[in-house]
């Protein structure tokens, strides 16, 4: 992943969008120069841990509103990509993405972007996952990536 220009470009779009959104609100902002690979049980991700100390006017909920959706789930530039997605996608995105993490009593905390989701009703589940499509994307590879994400979610549902 660290040697793939396509993966690095895709990741850099997200990092730059977060940096741009955070900069005007931050007293201190730490953005590493290069991502790392985060190895999970059934997946690997490029990961850039961004840390920001924001002013008192920006609690975690306002910050989430400012940052969401990121290019990882909406595209870039945000507004133009959103218009295109609403016109081109065959179905509404619904709960496709969001954030998970923790929220403290003083509204500080930590959030991670959700890149896949499951909406469960009784014994039925609607699973959604996607892939980052940028210049240089290979459709078959992106399809396999999406299938792998959905497969991991299906596996998890076996134990629910």
67-112 residue pLDDT tens: 888 898 888 898 999 899 889 988 877 777 888 899 999 888 888 8
Write down the pLDDT at residue 35. 97
* 131: in domain: no
* 72: in domain: yes
44-70 residue pLDDT tens: 889 999 999 988 888 889 988 998 888
Q: What one-character DSSP code corresponds to residue 106?
A: T
Closest residue by Cα to residue 33 from 45, 20, 49? 49
Question: Does residue 159 surpass a pLDDT of 80?
Answer: no
Please give the residue range of the domain that contains residue 27: 5-115
7 compared with 159, residue with greater pLDDT = 7
User: How far apart, in whole angstroms, are the C-alpha atoms of residue 144 and residue 129?
Assistant: 11
Q: What one-character DSSP code corresponds to residue 24?
A: G
User: How far apart, in whole angstroms, are the C-alpha atoms of residue 9 and residue 13?
Assistant: 6
Closest residue by Cα to residue 55 from 24, 101, 14? 24
* 127: in domain: no
Residue 116: which pLDDT band, with cuts at 50, 70 and 90? confident
Work out the burial of residue 3: count CB atoms within 10 Å of its CB; fewer than 13 is exposed, 13-18 middle, 19 or more buried. exposed
Write down the pLDDT at residue 47. 93
């Amino acid at each position: 992943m660290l040697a793939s220009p396509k993966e690095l470009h895709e990741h850099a779009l997200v990092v730059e969008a977060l940096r741009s959104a955070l900069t005007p609100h931050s007293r201190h902002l730490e953005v590493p120069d290069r991502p790392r690979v985060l190895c999970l049980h059934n997946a690997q991700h490029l990961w850039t841990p961004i840390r920001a100390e924001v002013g008192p006017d920006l609690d975690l909920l306002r910050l989430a509103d400012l940052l969401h959706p990121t290019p990882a789930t909406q595209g870039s530039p945000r507004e133009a990509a959103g218009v295109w997605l609403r016109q081109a996608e065959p179905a509404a995105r619904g709960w496709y993405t969001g954030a998970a993490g923790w929220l403290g009593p003083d509204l500080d905390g930590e959030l991670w972007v959700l890149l896949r989701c499951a909406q469960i009703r009784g014994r039925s589940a609607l699973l959604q996952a996607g892939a980052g499509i940028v210049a240089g994307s290979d459709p078959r590879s992106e399809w396999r990536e999406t299938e792998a994400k959905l497969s991991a979610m299906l596996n998890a549902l076996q134990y629910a």
